[in-house]
Amino acid sequence: MSQNLKNISVVATATVLSRVLGLVREICIAAVFGTGALASAYASAFTLPNVFRRLLGEGALTAAFVPTMAHELEQKHRAAAFELVSKVASWLFVVTTGLVVLAMLVMANAPAVARLTGGGGLEPATVERLLLGADLAVILFPYMVFVCLAAAFSAACQVLGRFSEPALSPVWLNLAVIGALALGAWWALGDAVRMNWLCAGVLVGGFLQMAVPAGVLWAEGWRPRFDLSPDDRLREIVRLMAPTVIGSAIYLVNISVSRFIGLSLNDSAVQVLNLSTRVMELPIGVFAAAIATVVFPLIARHAAKQDWTALAADYHKGLRLVMIINVPAAVGLALLSEPITRLLFQRGHFTAADTALMTPILAVYALGLPFLSFTTMALRGFYALRDTATPVRAAVLSFVVNIVLSVVLMHWFSTAGLAAASNLAVLAQAWFLQTRLTRRMGGLAFAPVVPSLGKIAMASALMGGVVWGGAKLAARLPLTGKAQDLVIVAGLIPAACAVYGALLWALKIEGREELGALWGKIRAKLQGGITASRLRTK
């Protein structure tokens, strides 16, 4: 487990940097464009290639590719695994390029369709927002080719035990976007030209995301070769991918419909939902995804060797770690949603009214963290068992629940209703996955985690009481505005972590030793990075 914790700490540390820069990126976008129609159009346009990334990249391909490549390494040799990487990359390049050309043609003709249909009965302002999103999508769609190849190369690196460089590859996207925004804000005249700079930054960043893990594979001995020849391993990957592609397509429709429902509400809805998701994804990305990233190749290798006892043990360890981190994170983020929003985003075109709009949405999204974290791990369990069909049925259930509840709840709670619908849809998905996982393999039942989860919930509730009381006391300090927010956030988060950590040991929650060891490794890596940075500046 020590090596696994080391790998998790590597991924988590790299992801901390990536997510922090991702937040800086969103802060810069919000400062330059606010939450108006242009920002919402960009958020909608960027959603499309991002979701296709999940359709053909990180979701479907990774689910099928990791177990197959792990089998090649366990049963054959590295050369066979590298040959598989070249075949997969070649086909992925051809398919994604074709889809990008098709999608760009469709989006480029959206204005003509709008003229022929008279706007489809929509309000002129709504039609204008949708057409603006289509224009930006034409520019951003090539990003899909880069990021899908990046996902394939990153998955191959993870199977080889190389975790840090792929985890750092999103950093290049964030740096490219931040740099493009800075140049655009300095030189460009008008928001439209600044938006072009932003889109250019996305494309440059996507190329760098692909190049970093490709360089790691080169260092490991892989040499790229364009190879479209048929292969039984490719057929197996396609067989495993097919259900997941359908599930990812459902996810694509799900996200797109939610975003367009948001566009129909007001100018700010999509951007506020997007920013709330970014903040909420920080604990998911740093810990849940890091743990799942390391556990997945591990349990896939256990499955390849049919070592079911080791598979169940490592799966439950990963699930406990995910819950022990994300349950208290959900409580803290929900309680501190207002000062966090104000501190991170309220500047430039992002006003106090935007903060008031975003605060309840972020709080609602935060409460869905445990369900999202669980789903992240449960999906890896199915993929390790080479079952990609059951997650599709779960995605269908999630889609139906989300769309129905979005239409119902938005009338009562406006934009916050969309966030609540998303949470309830993920809860339904988590329930479905766990019941089917237990039927598939009794050793992966949820029961072994329940005692720990009860104690985690108790410790999180007590910690939440400390956060709530501390925020009330801090509000009485002779401070206002961001100074008060900084005291609340910078003071209460470490205090809450200390209280929660003490409760973990007091309640003897299983997994506390692994969490302590993981935190020690992350802290050592962060301190090492800071020390190295200081030495370079001398």
d(C-alpha 461, C-alpha 507), whole Å: 13
From the centroid of its chain, how far is CA 415?
21
pLDDT at 516: 66
448-496: per-residue pLDDT in tens? 888 889 999 999 999 999 999 998 888 887 777 778 888 888 889 999 9
305 secondary structure, DSSP code: T
Count of C-beta atoms within a 10 Å radius of residue 406: 22
15-74: per-residue pLDDT in tens? 778 878 888 888 888 888 887 778 878 887 887 777 777 666 666 777 788 888 888 877
What is the average pLDDT across 210-231? 91
pLDDT at 45: 82
pLDDT at 531: 44
Handedness of CA 130, 132, 134, 140 (dihedral sign): negative
373-391: per-residue pLDDT in tens? 898 888 888 888 888 889 8
233-244: per-residue pLDDT in tens? 888 888 887 777
Domain extent listing, the chain: 37-242
From the centroid of its chain, how far is CA 213?
18
Non-local (6+) Cβ contacts of 322 within 8 A are: 287, 288, 291, 292, 373, 374, 376, 377
d(C-alpha 334, C-alpha 360), whole Å: 8
pLDDT at 139: 87
Q: Are 143 and 51 in contact (CB under 8 A)?
A: no
Residue 114 has pLDDT above 70, yes or no: no
- Check residues 128 and 115 and name the one with the higher pLDDT: 128
The first and second tokens of residue 447, run together, are 């029961």
pTM of the predicted structure, to 2 decimals: 0.69
The first and second tokens of residue 228, run together, are 């479209």
Q: What is the mean pLDDT of the chain?
A: 82
pLDDT at 533: 40
d(C-alpha 39, C-alpha 354), whole Å: 13
Picking from 293, 200, 245, the residue whose alpha carbon sits closest to that of residue 92 is 245
